[in-house]
Structure 1
């Protein structure tokens, strides 16, 4: 036994948390508070750690002697009713013993009261209330907390998980009920697990002792960035959050202790990728790779005839400068409505420039004339149908795969008026999307479609339509509409802006404030996908992008097929009552004919004067 004696020098009481119970966020410039929170030294009486949560400790001014405040309050000698013959002294136990009163084990180096003549031990709990000896002052609660042991699983009020062992509880109001691991969890934490960067965040996360519903509502109900599940509306739920951007994580997920996080990590590690899957979102650089994936063979001929057009078509080499002389409207492929871009091989009409501006990508000339047993419509044969949009104004159809309107080529069922555009007709069964990089997304069939409670991670809307095509992750609750997955490019650019805007899937780092769309000026929900310029710190709704971006190289954007509603009288319409040609586009303003104001509607406009007219007012 090691005899405990009084210290010979004067001791000064130190308070590690003078702001208790009003805990405040910790930032890098608050060096004193940070140093207090990371303070850990051994008590020279009980040999246990002195931490921030004990709040008080004594320090010797003349030597390096430290003492818990609770340890200083233990009497050095004790008169106990169970052993009236001798006075007991405070000792530090050198080997495991049993208490003479309660017969519980007294662990090695644990303080106890000892009678040397009788070799008799009494634990602190019997000699002096041990729970009060281990009282802590936690910033999450206004009253001191004392420990209590639970031998069965109990729910922790901080993390909402079940644990066994020591819990801390308030004896004043009997709330909260917090497990020891949570009580002594780190105030500041870095999530830098290297598992595919899934749990990585640049900034330290700050532990906060509540995330009430009103705060979640103000932030558009964010989800945990580790397990991707929502937070409960419990007022005192502990979460980790970033003080510099909108990054939130469950307490248990931040430590990777919860089963959700562990199993997710195992799934990510074990996932094997097929290098032949279609990678999304599309970019100009990978478009040719995508086409090679969909159409394996190439057979260039200098001149061909195609069933969709009455004139011969001439091959244009990839390095040919013809593309630079074509207008934006004329450079849209008549089949897939994707822009003819530089370094892309295509066919143009022999009479191009003489009133016939028909163009086709080289790969679109190899579209099969029919599809039998197609995965989306297996009961009937689908026939390739060129759209006669050059003969009829605004002649579009609804694609049954992506639920968007289109006026390019289609595969049609003549028996039930079912149509799918040529791009969606070749969607593979599995895709890989940058928004969910650690798992493949599989196309859903009739029997495994998302439920009405599920929602698309891009637009945050549900899956109510029975025939709506979607993709889902089989390892997690991640779903995407087919249109949202396929039709948004990785970057967009405006002709008057030197910076591109990139597609963002979550709140931007170093952006703590609110988000506002530069087009409609409405507040933007950063939990949905949006376009963001990191240089200008500007954001745009995906649905507002077509209004800002002219018909140029970004061929698909804004959740819509941008050229899909483009009236292809080679992109132009010439009414009898206006001297100039009109282009079909998406915009906002006032109709010259009826005077009505419109917002984000498809219109005809004149590039030579300020004439603008609704599509409905044109006829």
Structure 2
């Protein structure tokens, strides 16, 4: 009786030739497959290994990974326990061959890839006859070649019994090559365990597949890039052909402006040197980062841009190299920043570029959406004293007398500057809100067409995700539900803040750290950041925290305060929730009463729903009005709890109906995305 001590089990394993007629099915504890032949077993423990897995070496010197040996492990080597096989791309749930380079294989996959290498390719083709991809085009739509990771469509391929697919041409790949772009060492066919980018196309081939690699120099070429085309012609991007130069030569790409060290493509007519991937970059695009369409230029002179800083990374753009530019606005952006995310741009033709630019310029020059009924001259300036605005049925008068707690019916923020008011009803507009354009290109959301200003509605802003009432810029494309509030429609790439002495720059994705306003992690959210200091503020904290506001806990105006001057910890408490308050984050303060409060306690999620606006609910016959009770807290007719926050109250004096805003049908429909906007009742 043959006995095998095995590192994976505490007891010796006994050999079984598999010829018994026992009906019980057993599975190999190493590969997880049904054992149908010889195996080694511990019957008492129910532990079985098929003969091949039992005799697998504890360490394997794999020809596709010559840097280190692969070590056989009984389970995932990672703390989180999630291991993906670099051969088949499936999860490893049993034994795994592992290298510290984060290279992992099922035990069977390690054998298969090894056999593929050591087996003569001609023998492989003889055993597994090549199949034309035309015969099974639908089935092969998502199947990739194991070696080059390209689709099998359009090429003959082989599929050995082992279950992987291989182009016939890839079965003939040499294991070692010499290449003109790397003359110091030979390149070996290897797994790309370090996930290095190809030196020709600059793309990174993820986990699976093979590359030609020099591990000493960290030099990698994809299989298809070993022999790049000698000449590339693309009339849509450049009028002349580009010719390949296979030399190890440093150059600045004239298209994207970044460094290249190896293969370049040259246009001798224009004296251009470019990366292979940059030849096909779009010449005209519509970008999230600019209102107008932008075009690619190989260089930009000083009078064609007002700033040399890229709005995405905020680093200087080398104007002597390629960039995207808007000649109308003198705007400039790095090529790689503009094309960083496929959702940030789309390619357009030259004709579409001209049409779109003209349309955008017309939108930018449209008159404000009001007609003037009376104006006066102050010095050299004409002031519109009375206007007829599209959002209201009565004429509006200009006023500078800020006496009461008045909120704008456009942006729902407190009025502290000049405003238009209606003498017949409770309607107010900031002067700036009254002068907003009817159509506007929104930078925070990527749309081809401008958004249209829509009055008197309740909606959730698609940029800051805050529930708002009043004016919304709405996309009019069929089935699109995008809306933006007035605050986000005025998005800027930079801003100033009373909480910091330097200019803050917008970053669409945070670089890490904590928000200096609320103290929470910035995560991967959009932030305004100081380039010189470690100062970050969430986009929402900049746009959604008003400088001055009111709260029912204080009869005076509360001011947004950025630093706590009082060092005594007993004063670091919120006078609204009565909990401890960090002295290092922003808060609201009343200098008269010396009251302080968390910004989150004062500026709640419903802060941009104007009290006094009216709506109709489907489950109540009368008009309801937004209210916030200060002294008397009646019970909600739906949940029975007292209405201490925002509520909807019936205007019929005999009805006495009141519900929490969050208990309303309208709120539930908006919150669940069933509807995207609700019309306010005007009269």
Report the TM-score, using the length of structure 1 for normalisation.
Answer: 0.39
Structure number with the bigger relative contact order (C-alpha 8 A, sep ≥ 6) is 1
